[in-house]
Structure 1
Amino acid sequence: MNENNIEFFKEIEKKWQKIWDEKQIYYSNPDKGKPKFFVTFPYPYVSGFLHIGTALSLTRVDIIARYKRLKGYNVLFPQGFHLTGSPIVAKSWRLRNGDKKLIKELKDEGVSDEDIEKLKDPAGWALYFVEKAEEDIKNLGCSIDWRRKFYTTYLHPWYNKFIEWQYRKLKEKGLVITGKHPVVYDPVANIPVGDHDRPDEYAGIGPTEGYIILFRLKDEDIILPAFTLRPETLYGVTNIWINPNGKYSVYLDKENSNKYILPDTIVVDEFNAQGYKLEKIKDIDIKELIGKECINPLTNEVVPILPAEFVDTKTGTGIVMSVPSHAPYDYIGLRDLLNTEYKEIAKKCLDNMKVLFKVPGYNIPAKEIVEKMKINNQKDVQKLEDATKEVYSLEYYNGILTDIFGKYSGMKIYEAKDNIAKDFIDKNIAKIHYTLKPRFESRYGNQCIVKIIDNQWFLKYSDPEWKKLAHECIDNMNFYPENVRQDFHQKIDWLKDWACAHNKDELGTPLPWDKSWVIESLSDSTIYMAFYTIAHLIKNIDPDKIEDDLFDYIFLNKGNEEEIIRKYGSIVKKMKEEFEYWYPVDLRSSGKDLIPNHLSFFIFHHVAIFDKKYWPRGIAINGYAVDAMGRKMSKSLGNYISLKDALRKYSADILRFIIAMSANSSYDDAKIDLGKSEFVMKYLISFYNYSIENYNKHQEYEKSYIDLWFENKLNKLAKEIEDEYEKLNYMNVINKIFELDNSFEWYLKRASGKINGKIVNKYIEYKAIFLYPIVPHIISEIFEKIGLDPFNIRYPENLSYTDEYEKYEKYVKSVRDDLIKLKILMNNKIFNKVKIIIASKEKYELFNELRNNKNKIDEFLNNYPNYRDILSFVKKNIYILDEFLDREKEYELLNSAVDLFKSELNVKDIIIEYEEESEESKRNRAMPYKPAIVFL
């Protein structure tokens, strides 16, 4: 890429960012004379430099903010930063302990030795990266009201007070409770692990609730605890699986003297974190265990223990029950053993398969789906995963329980599953158990487990009335794309009580009534959008003097106004005015990964705290940022790039354009193809040069047909681009702009050198407006250079267009294509002139009659034998009946295109004539929409 051109972009960007800052262009204040638009983006977690994934979501928000300003809205786009949780504390701790890897990473990122010393303190780390993040976001060209910036935790005492108020309100409503609950936990750091305390790819993964089925070794008082998510399949167990490469031991539970066989892995820690007191008492020779038998506690059937490498010794219990009729892994595992020393046992297990559920279209579901998907063995992991999902989905919703289930027979699985499991628990043959699938590490580098914590504080998302309000909110919101609405409904139903407070050693806001707990990172970030409305004003009040009555007055319209003013000053009226003008949030845009947590919490907390008129109005989502090959961006793959490095290498506008063209508002991942930077750079420079060289540089004429056609096309595209902007479909916006470019190229061809200054100016203005939300720096420069005020541009309004012009020009292009094809068929010989012969009136009259009788063409063939050739042509080209025009209009259009045809065919003369007056022998070939063509 040409570095001089990149510097050209950077200089323009620096210039306009300075102007925006000096003029305070994006300082947004209430204006009752304008419609408002309040848009937000989840504040980024600043445990390091921002990455390009943040730029994806952030740019998408800035584009809609700039577009809405073009539409005349008073737009508020504020930005804060998230510091809550353990990652910052963990990284500071690593620095203090001389972590060489982290020190090298920081130095590679350009952090000085002096600054690294500051980062050893969590507060120093947080504030350093807040400053760097703000710098990067400004350099990206985001139109943010920076007066309203804040960050979480005690480092911003005003926000701390706001969160304390929020949680007191929730507790008053009975929505914050205490009790036992499973949480993701770091057993080494001794803290719960929230989404921000783990690698991004594991966000949203919570405890998996399953069941331990208490199988016992035959003739021995030792339990084999088989973990399952499908307790209802216990009736069909043929064998037990263990991993032949694992190391298993016997553990004594000192709580009740039970003995368990378990793998020597993290699962033992997970057991002990859930009320067990296990102590290893004996190693087991895995070879001796395989082939032994155990007892099904429900049926008392004797089943063998067999080896399977698909058993994960780090999740569940490392022991799995096998139900080959209903589990693809189990069926394929037994099939694999048919070629081993265990073939006789495996064959017996396959012969003893029981079908537990009647599934329409299947006899033995797992077997048939394995065969349909052509799964060869246990190494076909992805196919097995897909098959498992298919079987489970089929059976869960459609499977009818057979007579073996007694009182539950005839019911569907989803109707009976929980009651069956409860029966097993009551019979002491099963226990509830939690695990992590998949197992992952916390940001401290330790494997996480599921721990049941007592006296843990929870948000009561299980509350049915709270869920009901959340569903009501979702029903009345706008979603981009629309199909995400159902996903939110499902997530609201799915959410259970959430551990909202962690160890006090984390950064955050302490629970106001129990300072030994700190509110965790996903729970202090749910209604902060309301704080944005007052963030620039509340700093005028001493935070130590702030009590709940201030927030009650502003956000809940409670309290005596005179007393509040007397206590805090007249600034509180301005704060209330700001909140009531800007709220609710009109649009919150974020990545799809936040649907099951942050975005759902955002809805829950708003409906709990605020009146309905302040409930959120819209949510837009986008997929993950991936590279051109669809790979996640990571340092290990070598495709990771920080936002600051991307801006340095590509400039803001080029990066913004690449992001815009990467995706629409959808679940699809955004392929950020930085390899397109050269194309984007040339494209934008080309438009910059064309605009300056051509605006107000051409003579203006009375509009010709082709002027009217292009103006019609321009208006139509303006409306279509407007529709795509409204849906946040920026990839579609870019594609529509490319369509505009193609149409303008066609216009220049059709105009044959006589281009109209009015049309050229309108093209430049409209295209610049279409591009402005995406690449605001270079477009501002273009507007200034051509003499227009970049601060007073508006999106085109009252646009009128008709589809007739499209139809007309489609006809011209069709004839032009036929001319070119015919010349190619004639080996591109040189001709002096071409005759284009328009069909007779009689044919047009016949076509008009056929247009209204498309289903009677065969009848016409029988009744009008003289028209057989014409009718046969129509039957083969039925589309023409919808496309052909009036005879005179076709004649007029062809005459308007004579210069184009001459140029394309390289001939001196084009003659347009009617069939009736033509002397050419081929004149009878002329049809409406398909004139006869004669090269001379």
Structure 2
Amino acid sequence: MSSEKKAVVLENTTRRDALIEIESKYQKLWAQEKAFEVNAPTNEEVPYGTPLEELHKKYPKHMTSMAYPYMNGVMHAGHCFTYSKSEFATGFEKLRGKKALYPLGFHCTGMPICASADKLKREVELFGKDFSGYSAEAEAAAEEKKAAEEPKKEEKPKAKADPTKFVAKKAKVAQKSGGKKYQFQIMQQLGIPTEEIHKFADPYHWLSFFPPLVQSHVNSLGGSVDWRRSMITTDMNPYYDSFIRWQVTRLRDLEKIKFGERYTIYSVKDGQPCMDHDRQSGEGVLPQEYTAIKIEITEYTEETKALFAQEKFDTTGKKVYLVAATLRPETMYGQTCCFVSPKITYGLFDAGNGEYYITTHRAFKNMSYQKLTPVRGKYDSVLDINGKVLIGSKIHAPMAAIKELRVLPMETVLASKGTGVVTCVPSDSPDDFITTRELLHKPDYYGIKKEWVIEESPAIIKTSKYGDKCAKHLVEALKIRSPKDSEQLAKAKELAYKEGFYNGVMIYGKYSGKKVEEAKPLAKQDLIDAGGAFVYDEPESVVI
């Protein structure tokens, strides 16, 4: 049997070939005759001063376009699908005797092109202009070695931060990469010769390379676009750029638009919002709103005092707060302690007006771009402090029924989520309930005093399904034995949150008798108005 590949021979292609020949013939004819170039009536055709009604009756017009294709590649099937609708409408209106104009632009604004160009700059530095320094075999071997050396991490279930909130699942940008790791490989997939790829490290090269390709592809589809009207949506086209600037300025002057603020995913590096189409990964990820609870430290541990003395931080006239991010402000009546992780190094940050916050560095950086700090974008810590040093501190938590609480350890606190500081409400949080039980049973192991742990927490919410101690019910029903039972705890948390939010009734505090759904925003606003909390947002998950 021959190992040579045999060329595929197509038979009976006469009809196909005839259609292609006809298509080619008429596309050339349309180009020669400028069939799709649509001009406005001249003054000879329509004298100056002709009433608009008469003009429109004599020369009815129709204009359409589509969302301009983005110029980080050639047109794909989705573009063609959308394009075909506009194309059909234009042809139909032309047959009805209208001046049917179809302009098509090239979308080049936003971050994807710049981000891709930046990647290529780095890859040229790494592998050279011809990328000959890259070795797939060497990379695969390195990845294999790394995987072999790293201990296998137990896969933890990914629970939504807020189970009552819908989260979109998209990955269009990731799919465009075709599974390739490097930008130069993606460019090779687009059919660009390797020796030409380094030119794309200049973002403006994309703007001169892809638009002519798109134009030729549209023409090969028989497109009826008037290419004289095409435009590139950046200052590379000063006319279009001026038009957009004029349009926005005019609308602002007419008070039809105004500058507003909202929470959004923001790129500090690029100094602008990072919207879905700007992302390499994390498409569909939105800001998650938390209520940041200001928990005042009323008595420091000896270790904390020693650290402050060493770093020359004088607490006189200053208030220091542990800032905890919660999704459940209505449960703050039931706080029994505040958790920090002995594995996390926190920062002490100047929040202005004599107030200082203890949070993770990541969280305070986020705050510095949300008008929550004295200087935008300034997030240097006054000093760093390990969570272990804080354990045992006396605290006062706003709205808590129990007035004097302690800082206790929780090893499962994540530095990558929230502020790294966690409020403890054992009546309604399965995580808090099982951690509190663990601390009671093993105080010596955690290096704490048993009397610091409050065993009985006040009941604050009642549901018909789980009673008034929702967390205890679920922990026992799901046979959760330890804070390390992450899978069962994730399930318990979701069940507790949903049941409490949709079917719970407050049985403690100012809003006793109200449904949780009603009490939640009211309690949140009370905390904010009293200066005991503020609104804090961060991405629901990682965005690149």
Partner letter of residue 417 of structure 1? K
2:527 to 397, 413, 424: 424
The aligned residue for residue 501 of structure 2 is 396
Contact kept in structure 2, 1:315 and 1:436, CA below 8 Å: no
2:390 aligned with 1:289: yes
Partner letter of residue 223 of structure 1? Y
Could you say if the C-alpha distance between residues 186 and 217 of structure 1 is closer, same or farther in structure 2, counting changes exceeding 3 Å? same
Q: What do residues 498-551 of structure 1 show as CA deviations (whole Å, max 9, x unaligned)?
A: xxxxxxxxxxxxxxxxxxxxxxxxxxxxxxxxxxxxxxxxxxxxxxxxxxxxxx
2:267 aligned with 1:171: no
2:381 aligned with 1:280: yes
Partner letter of residue 85 of structure 1? G
Q: Matched residues in 2 for 1:155 and 1:438: separation?
A: 35
Q: CA deviation at 1:431?
A: 2.3
The aligned residue for residue 114 of structure 2 is 89
Contact kept in structure 2, 1:400 and 1:409, CA below 8 Å: yes
The aligned residue for residue 356 of structure 2 is 259
Could you say if the C-alpha distance between residues 119 and 358 of structure 1 is closer, same or farther in structure 2, counting changes exceeding 3 Å? same
2:453 aligned with 1:357: no
SS at match of 2:258: strand
Could you say if the C-alpha distance between residues 246 and 348 of structure 1 is closer, same or farther in structure 2, counting changes exceeding 3 Å? closer
The aligned residue for residue 195 of structure 1 is 276
2:327 aligned with 1:229: yes
2:366 aligned with 1:270: yes
Could you say if the C-alpha distance between residues 368 and 4 of structure 1 is closer, same or farther in structure 2, counting changes exceeding 3 Å? farther
1:314 to 413, 416, 424: 416
2:399 to 298, 302, 306: 298
The aligned residue for residue 82 of structure 2 is 61
Q: CA deviation at 1:429?
A: 1.6
Q: Matched residues in 2 for 1:240 and 1:405: separation?
A: 20
Q: CA deviation at 1:197?
A: 3.0
Q: CA deviation at 1:267?
A: 2.2
Q: What do residues 869-918 of structure 1 show as CA deviations (whole Å, max 9, x unaligned)?
A: xxxxxxxxxxxxxxxxxxxxxxxxxxxxxxxxxxxxxxxxxxxxxxxxxx
The aligned residue for residue 856 of structure 1 is none
SS at match of 1:154: coil
Q: What are structure 1's unaligned runs of at least 5 residues?
A: 442-936
Partner letter of residue 21 of structure 1? Q
Q: What are structure 2's unaligned runs of at least 5 residues?
A: 40-55, 127-181, 301-318
Q: CA deviation at 1:278?
A: 5.3
Q: Matched residues in 2 for 1:16 and 1:334: separation?
A: 80
Contact kept in structure 2, 1:210 and 1:227, CA below 8 Å: yes
Please identify the structure whose Cα radius of gyration is greater.
Answer: 1
Could you say if the C-alpha distance between residues 389 and 68 of structure 1 is closer, same or farther in structure 2, counting changes exceeding 3 Å? farther
Could you say if the C-alpha distance between residues 289 and 118 of structure 1 is closer, same or farther in structure 2, counting changes exceeding 3 Å? same
1:47 to 53, 64, 72: 72
Aligned-CA RMSD value: 4.9
User: Sequence identity of aligned pairs in percent?
Assistant: 27
Bigger share in helix: 1
Partner letter of residue 200 of structure 2? L
Query: Equivalent residues in 2 for 1:493-892 (5 A)?
Result: none
The aligned residue for residue 27 of structure 2 is 21
Q: CA deviation at 1:84?
A: 0.8
Contact kept in structure 2, 1:95 and 1:120, CA below 8 Å: yes
Q: CA deviation at 1:4?
A: 2.6
SS at match of 1:127: helix
How many aligned residue pairs are there? 429
Could you say if the C-alpha distance between residues 184 and 157 of structure 1 is closer, same or farther in structure 2, counting changes exceeding 3 Å? same
Could you say if the C-alpha distance between residues 81 and 16 of structure 1 is closer, same or farther in structure 2, counting changes exceeding 3 Å? farther
Partner letter of residue 170 of structure 1? L
The aligned residue for residue 248 of structure 1 is 346
SS at match of 1:269: helix
The aligned residue for residue 153 of structure 1 is 234
Contact kept in structure 2, 1:213 and 1:225, CA below 8 Å: yes
Contact kept in structure 2, 1:88 and 1:126, CA below 8 Å: no
Partner letter of residue 341 of structure 2? N
Q: Matched residues in 2 for 1:201 and 1:10: separation?
A: 44
Could you say if the C-alpha distance between residues 353 and 43 of structure 1 is closer, same or farther in structure 2, counting changes exceeding 3 Å? farther
Could you say if the C-alpha distance between residues 17 and 400 of structure 1 is closer, same or farther in structure 2, counting changes exceeding 3 Å? farther
Could you say if the C-alpha distance between residues 112 and 412 of structure 1 is closer, same or farther in structure 2, counting changes exceeding 3 Å? same
2:509 to 405, 428, 453: 405
Q: Matched residues in 1 for 2:225 and 2:387: separation?
A: 65
Could you say if the C-alpha distance between residues 414 and 131 of structure 1 is closer, same or farther in structure 2, counting changes exceeding 3 Å? farther
Q: TM-score w.r.t. structure 1 length?
A: 0.39
Q: CA deviation at 1:223?
A: 1.8
Could you say if the C-alpha distance between residues 416 and 94 of structure 1 is closer, same or farther in structure 2, counting changes exceeding 3 Å? same
Q: What do residues 815-872 of structure 1 show as CA deviations (whole Å, max 9, x unaligned)?
A: xxxxxxxxxxxxxxxxxxxxxxxxxxxxxxxxxxxxxxxxxxxxxxxxxxxxxxxxxx
The aligned residue for residue 157 of structure 2 is none
SS at match of 1:312: coil
Q: Matched residues in 1 for 2:10 and 2:496: separation?
A: 54
Q: TM-score w.r.t. structure 2 length?
A: 0.62
Q: Which 10-residue stretch deviates more, 346-355 or 317-326?
A: 346-355
Q: CA deviation at 1:234?
A: 0.9
Q: Matched residues in 2 for 1:87 and 1:149: separation?
A: 21
SS at match of 1:201: coil
Q: What do residues 351-407 of structure 1 show as CA deviations (whole Å, max 9, x unaligned)?
A: 4243323334331444555666777766776775565455444433443322x222x
Q: Matched residues in 2 for 1:158 and 1:27: separation?
A: 22
Contact kept in structure 2, 1:334 and 1:346, CA below 8 Å: no
Q: Matched residues in 2 for 1:177 and 1:245: separation?
A: 46
Contact kept in structure 1, 2:64 and 2:90, CA below 8 Å: no
Q: Matched residues in 1 for 2:10 and 2:343: separation?
A: 56
Query: Equivalent residues in 2 for 1:328-477 (5 A)?
Result: 328-331=430-433, 333-334=435-436, 341=445, 351-363=455-467, 364-368=469-473, 388-402=493-507, 404-406=508-510, 408-441=511-544
